[in-house]
Amino acid sequence: MLTLPSYNLFDVLAVSVCGSVIFALVRRLFLRSKSTKLAGPKRTSWLWGYTRDLLAGVSGDYFEQWQKEFGDVYCIPSAGGGERTVFMDSRAISYILNTNAYNFVRHKGNVSLLKRMLGGGILTVEARDAHQRHRKSMSPGFTIASIRFFTTIFLGAACKVRDQWLSKMAAESNEKDIVLNVEYWMNAISFESIGEAGFSHDFKCMDGELPLIGKLFTSLGKNSGNVASMIAIAMVQVFPVVVSLPLGRNIAFDQLQAAMRSIAQGILGDRKVVSDAVSDERRSLVASIMKAENRSLTQEEVIAEINTLLLAGFETTSSSMTWCLHELSMNPRVQQNLRDELVKFPEPTHEQLATEMPYLNAVVQETLRTHPAVPENHRRAIKDDSIPLQNPITTASGKIVDHIEVRAGQGVMISIEAMNRSSLIWGPDSHEFKPERWLDGNLPKKVTDIQGFHHLLTFIDGPRNCIGKNFAVAEFKPYPS
């Protein structure tokens, strides 16, 4: 009988690190000539590069400062002796996200992480045909007709939160200061909204306690800044095997997927409720996905798509709404201007929210600009490529070029946060929360060169743009109201 040897955690890590170092040296010695050599900040740590700084601070501030020092395209050291080419040139970004989008895919470690957390789905498929198959199966749930119907759900959730707050203030009327946990309530109404609109499912978030899945989401977010989590996040792109190790963060991902899978299986098991919720005016998110089951998606893929919607529908929207209320609290003038507009629409319709409330639109867009839920977009090239530039740059050797050559496997980055807030793009008031910039029709030329949702990269762009962006904006609008 053949006995297989056993390996401990440190053996696996040691072999992985040594193999990755050898590969990095070979790549540096023999493959570097295929890429354009660019200027950038000097490496201060082989292990971290600048990954720890970007995770611990406001990454957009770093990228914006490097843009001023090195131009719109530069190279930064990354973890494990690697490097990333950062693009802040609008034409280059459009090429990566639009023109040749399927040549630029997620790093293998990031895909492995998403699979461990979600089980797969639209976020983990990279090939053109597979990605388009997944996207086509989900698109019917995000039509204008569906979102028009969902708006009543979003407004209902906002009213429930308002009533809860008023009740709490009435009960504590003798207190000098009344404290409301806004972050909790934004999490609660995100679950309320995605549950009702997406799955006809009541998470019972208005009872004062988040369900298990909500607690797991928030726990992951709170722990993402500790040292162990930062190491795992930094190393996963260099050493994908990290995702397979029995680390605390990976175990948390398993628990999260198990909780989401339980909900997804419950939804799939109650097909009658879902089918009864479908009409010509509305097709729920889950009904669209279930319709594709056994035709274009397997059952495992359907479960993964539901998990993806749970994660995206909760985390990103609740974060944006919390930031919006924070900005309104810090800007009384903006708050009053918004109140003056909202009083004209005591029971707004979808059409009024979408087209007749310009200041609300401006507040939402300014929040999406200044506080994007995802600060960076990381990709790697499948094949060698030549990326065109809007403006020529000077390379590390002093040569002026209008294209950047990248080699197969090379990592590229787009700093969403910096592109949304750079003073070189948006002007000297770029870091101010100023909704009026969206009303005067005089956005800087460099801004209008950016393709994306209202010239923002918050939802990225191209065939992989956020499929639920219109859903997210419609869900967002009632809450600052």
Structure token pair of residue 414: 């787009």
Q: Is the Cβ–Cβ distance between 122 and 131 less than 8 Å?
A: yes
Among positive and negative, which fits the CA dihedral 260, 262, 267, 268?
A: positive
CB proximity list for 362: less than 8 A, separation 6 or greater: 435, 436, 437, 438, 439
SS3 321: helix
3-state SS of 154-182 is HHHHHHHHHHHHHHHHHHCCCCCCCCCCH
Q: What share of the chain is helix, strand, coil (3-state, %, to 5)?
A: 60, 10, 30
Q: Which helix (H) or strand (E) holds 14?
A: helix 9-30
Give the separation between CA 188 and CA 317, rounded to whole angstroms.
Answer: 11
Among positive and negative, which fits the CA dihedral 448, 454, 459, 462?
A: negative
Q: Which helix (H) or strand (E) holds 419?
A: helix 416-421
Burial of 207 (0-12, 13-18, 19+ CB in 10 A): exposed
Ligand-binding site membership of 75 (annotated): no
Residues in the chain, total: 481
How far, in whole angstroms, is CA 257 from its chain's centroid? 18
Give the separation between CA 172 and CA 74, rounded to whole angstroms.
Answer: 55
Rounded to 10 degrees, the C-alpha dihedral 70/432/311/235 comes to 30
Q: In angstroms, what CA-CA distances link 270 with 63, 292, 298, 344, 472? A: 48, 16, 18, 41, 26
SS3 324: helix
- φ, ψ dihedrals at 398, nearest 5°: 95, 5
Structure token pair of residue 161: 């939160």
Structure token pair of residue 229: 């989590």
SS3 386: strand
Burial of 476 (0-12, 13-18, 19+ CB in 10 A): buried
SS3 75: strand
Phi-psi category of residue 462: left, alpha or beta, with phi > 0 → left and psi -120 to 50 → alpha: left
Give the separation between CA 256 and CA 226, rounded to whole angstroms.
Answer: 19
Residues that constitute the known binding site for heme: 466
Q: Which residues are annotated as a binding site?
A: 466
